Every structure is written in C-alpha cells, then in structure tokens.
C-alpha cells in the first residue's frame, strides 16, 4: 500500500498568488488574517445568504425528496415548483415542528460546505464513484477495443492543440537566457510546455515521461464545467492515489475549492485558494480514502500555458510530495475556456509537471524549473447495460428546474449519479457567484452558453452513458442551468 504524504500547516503550499517557496512566513500570516476575516464576516455576508437560498433545491437527495403539502398539490396539477423554505413550513398551522424539520431542505453553511462536500460526505446514498475506483480493472479498462469509436478522437493519438495566445509566451531557451542574464521574471510570464518523447516513435530523442497518468472519465467533464462557470480563475484539487508498483498516478475525482476574493483584483489573471476551503477539501479527500495527487485551475481568457507563478506553485507541491521514499508525483492541470483567439469551442486541457535544472555551478543556487506537458489516459468503463432515456431536443423554451433535476437523477443510470451530483452542486454554488459567466455574452460567432454546450458535448463522450443519449444528458444539464440561474 502506498504511504500517504501529509502536509503540516506550516509546510503546505497553497496554489495561487503567493509563492510558498519564497514567502512562507508572509504567506502563513496572510492565511491567518484572512481566515479570521472570513469567520468574522460570515454571519453578515450577502453572498452567504444568496448562496444558501440557491442550494435549497439541490440539497434534497434523490432518495429523499423534500416537498411541502403546497408543492405536492402543485405537482399533481403539473405546476412544478421548488420546495418551500424551512421557515415557511413552520407557518403551516397543521404541521408540527418535527414534520416541518423533516420536510425542510437541508440548509448549508458556505464556510463549512464546499461545492462537492455533500456528495463525498453523504452517507445516505451509495454513489458509484465512492466504490468504483479508477484503478479497479474490474470496472475500468485501458483497452482500445472498448468504446473505441467514441473515445478514439478524444484521447488516442490526439496531437497537442495550443491555439493562439493573447499574452506573451516564451520557450524554455528564452526562459533560461532570461534567468542567466539576471533579469527579473514577470510572475505572469507564460512558458510553453515542452513535449516528452512519443512512445510510438522509436527514434524520438526527447526524454521519456517519468510516470503514467490515468484519469477517471468524470474528471474532465467536471473540470470543464467548473472552468466555464466564471470569468475569473477557478481552482481545485485532484483526489486519487499513486501506485508505486506501476509508477502511475490515478486521478479519481476533481474537488473544486473556493477562491479568495481580494480587493482590487478581479481574478482574471490570478487565483488564490481560500485557506479554509483548502483545509476542508484536503480533509474530505482523506476521509474519502483518497490522496491529494494534483491540482487544477483555469485561464479564462488566454491559453492554458503555465505562468511563472504557476510553475513556482507546481514546484512547491512536487517538492512536498516527493519527501517520502516513494517519490510521489504531483500533477497540474490548466483549463483554457474563453480565449478570444481560439475558434474551437471545446475547453482546452493541459496536464503538466515541472523539472528542476541547475543553472550555475554554485551548489546553493536554487534550480530553475521548466514545465513539461504530460500525456494522460482517460480510462473507460467496461461495457454494461444502462437504462435507456428518451432523447431531448434543444429548445428555446425554459424547462422547469424540477423536471430537469428529476431526469438527471433518475433517467441516466446509477453509475452516472455521482457525476450528476457534482454538476448540480457546481451549478448551484456559482448561481450567486459575483463573477459568474453571463451566458448571453458573445463568443466568436455564437455566445458563451452555446460554447459551454458544445464543449460538454465533447467531454460527455467519455462518461458511462450510451452514445445515443449523450446529447440528451448535456441538454438536461444546460436546461437546468438556465432555469436555476434565471
């Protein structure tokens, strides 16, 4: 069994604005001050109130629907409405206190509940993602003869797509020259990832990738949706495990984290993980019998190449997770979404890690780190029967929120329910987010809502859903999003 690496509060790097390698003391003081500020403002936060209201509908689990008598009558007359808040249930004269408590949706504390915490901490429902792990060869396979027609265009022999950049990007040689000249490096300077050798080419002289990366099919879908939710950078951790015997990092799930709202910074070029959310998510991953094996964030308006700051944070994490005898790797991911210089609507993913290089003969001089792109394998479910669902055609008419939620939770099979709950939590979490995406805004020759739909239609091909109903699944998500955000 692989030994876990536990970070102490003093040594744990925080992805984002502050380099944990060069400013540990300052970063630690900043975290404490911000934590106190968050706790002080939580009781009067307008954002907390809006967010708690937006989660009331989604908080009812599929096995325990929460409806008042008024809702039941409305459902009988085909007038579907959201469950009534707890305080309104108390006003019913014929309802006892215990009945009201039972009928009321579970209320959340945004300082204690991350977007996915209820999914992974919910003991009442047996989600497949909590028992069917991506490293289980009885459930998943790497064989190309399973669902090859659906996934070949996505994950097999796919050449790296970089797109154009609207910020300056340099190559390793340019970065090396700048370092040796003593120039101060801009933390927002983008660095192009170098490529490892192609294992199918015998005479490729480039270095070999040092470890393999295998990913759960739900991960790309959730990360793509999360990155499209906001016009500022988002951030999260990966939960999984490292198998030293096969030298493979298994990424089992994405755990979105809250980001800090910093005065004077709109978050379009930087992101800093909320230290409270970071602690919650790390504990949640551990309680889920997983390990922290990576992190991800988005570049909303430019290419997904790592910046100098991204490289520093990646290096800090790698150093932390390499302190044990198993040399634990750590994977980074950047998702590009609304780059105006790209024409492809599909979210662009770049998995990477960094390698240190001594630039001078002095032993005390810290190494210079350079990013390398990682080739990944998204595992596939082995063939199994899935309940059919009637196809849903795109429509301009607003479908009731309750109807979409019912279909998502009941029509696509038990194996996809964990992904559904992740999606629902994200949509409700960002409903009251200050910098949420405005779907009607233009992007290229369409709008951002249509771009999201097309991007999800690409990544849904890896999910455990038959090909003939994948469009219906995405359409239900998009209709739920439109209804919930109205």
Last residue of a domain, one of 104, 128, 159: 104
DSSP bridge partners of 298:
335
Q: Which residues of 23-36 are buried (b: 16+ CB within 10 A; e: fewer)?
A: eeeebbebbeebee
In terms of residue numbers, what domain contains 75? 67-104
Rounded Cα distance, 99 and 97, in Å: 5
Q: What is the pLDDT of residue 250?
A: 97
- State how beta strands 446-447 and 291-299 pair: unpaired
Q: Do 342 and 451 fall within a single domain?
A: yes
Q: What is the DSSP letter of 366?
A: P
**27-69: pLDDT as tens digits:** 454 455 455 544 444 433 444 444 444 444 444 444 433 444 4
Q: Do 90 and 138 fall within a single domain?
A: no
Mean pLDDT value of segment 369-390: 80
Rounded Cα distance, 6 and 210, in Å: 23
Residue 108 reports pLDDT greater than 90: no
Residue 188 reports pLDDT greater than 80: yes
Looking at the chain, the whole-number percentage of residues with pLDDT higher than 70 is 64
Strand ranges inside 55-148, DSSP E: 140-141
CA proximity to 190, closest of 82, 288, 309: 309
Residue 441 reports pLDDT greater than 60: yes
Q: Do 11 and 79 fall within a single domain?
A: no
Q: What is the pLDDT of residue 92?
A: 43
Q: Do 420 and 481 fall within a single domain?
A: yes
Tokens of 42: 């939580």
Q: Do 157 and 248 fall within a single domain?
A: yes
Residue 392 reports pLDDT greater than 70: no
Contacts of 170 (CB under 8 A, 6+ apart): 178, 189, 190, 191, 192
Q: Do 94 and 169 fall within a single domain?
A: no
Contacts of 14 (CB under 8 A, 6+ apart): 20, 27, 31, 272, 273, 275, 278, 313
Q: Do 189 and 303 fall within a single domain?
A: yes
Q: Do 56 and 71 fall within a single domain?
A: no
**Phi/psi at 332 (nearest 5 deg)?**
-110, 150
CB 404 within 8 A of CB 56: no
Residue 127: which CATH number? 3.40.140.10
CA proximity to 435, closest of 228, 225, 223: 228
Residue 94 reports pLDDT greater than 60: no
Q: Is 44 helix (H, G, I), strand (E, B) or coil?
A: helix
Q: What is the pLDDT of residue 22?
A: 40
Q: What is the pLDDT of residue 389?
A: 54
Q: What is the pLDDT of residue 177?
A: 76
Please provide the distance, in angstroms rounded to a whole number, between the alpha carbons at the two ends of the chain.
49
Q: Do 92 and 232 fall within a single domain?
A: no
């Amino acid at each position: 069994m692989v030994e876990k690496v536990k970070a102490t509060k003093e040594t744990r790097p925080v992805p984002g604005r502050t380099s944990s390698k060069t400013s540990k003391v300052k970063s630690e003081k900043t975290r404490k001050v911000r934590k106190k500020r968050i706790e002080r403002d939580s009781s009067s936060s307008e954002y907390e109130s809006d967010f708690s209201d937006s989660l009331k509908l989604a908080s009812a689990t599929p096995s325990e629907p929460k409806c008042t008598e008024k809702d039941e009558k409305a459902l009988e007359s085909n007038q579907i409405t959201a469950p009534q808040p707890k305080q309104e249930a108390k006003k019913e004269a014929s309802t006892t206190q215990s009945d009201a408590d039972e009928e009321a949706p579970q209320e959340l504390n945004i300082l204690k509940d991350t977007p996915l915490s209820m999914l992974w901490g919910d003991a009442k429902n047996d989600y497949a993602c909590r028992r069917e792990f991506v490293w289980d060869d009885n459930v998943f396979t790497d064989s190309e003869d399973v669902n090859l027609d659906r996934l070949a265009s996505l994950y097999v022999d796919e050449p790296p797509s970089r797109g154009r950049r609207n910020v300056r990007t340099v190559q390793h040689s340019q970065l090396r020259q700048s370092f040796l000249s003593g120039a101060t490096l801009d933390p927002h300077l983008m660095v192009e990832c170098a490529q490892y050798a192609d294992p199918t080419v015998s005479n490729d002289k480039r270095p070999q990738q040092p470890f393999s990366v295998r990913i759960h099919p739900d991960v790309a879908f959730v990360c793509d949706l999360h990155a499209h939710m906001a016009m500022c950078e988002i951030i999260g951790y990966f939960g999984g495990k490292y198998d030293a015997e096969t030298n493979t990092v298994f990424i089992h799930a994405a755990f979105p984290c809250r980001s800090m709202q910093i005065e004077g910074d709109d978050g379009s070029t930087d992101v800093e993980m909320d230290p409270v959310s970071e602690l919650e998510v790390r504990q949640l991953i551990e309680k889920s019998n997983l390990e922290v094996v990576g992190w991800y964030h988005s570049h909303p308006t430019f290419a997904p190449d790592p910046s100098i700051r991204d490289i520093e944070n990646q290096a800090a994490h790698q150093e932390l997770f390499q302190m044990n005898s198993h040399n634990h790797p750590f994977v980074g991911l950047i998702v590009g979404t609304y780059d105006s210089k790209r024409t492809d609507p599909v979210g662009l993913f770049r998995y990477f890690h960094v390698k240190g290089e001594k630039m001078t003969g002095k032993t005390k001089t810290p190494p210079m780190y350079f990013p390398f792109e990682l080739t990944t394998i998204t595992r596939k479910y082995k063939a199994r029967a899935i309940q059919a669902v009637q196809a849903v055609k795109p429509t301009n008419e607003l479908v009731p929120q309750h109807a979409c939620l019912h279909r998502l939770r009941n029509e696509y099979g038990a194996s996809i329910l964990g992904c559904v709950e992740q999606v629902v939590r994200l949509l409700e979490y960002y409903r009251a987010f200050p910098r949420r995406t405005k779907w009607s805004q233009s992007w290229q020759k369409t709008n951002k809502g249509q771009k999201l739909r097309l991007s999800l239609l690409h990544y849904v091909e890896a999910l455990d859903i038959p090909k003939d109903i994948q469009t219906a699944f995405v359409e239900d998500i998009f209709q739920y999003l439109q209804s919930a955000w109205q």
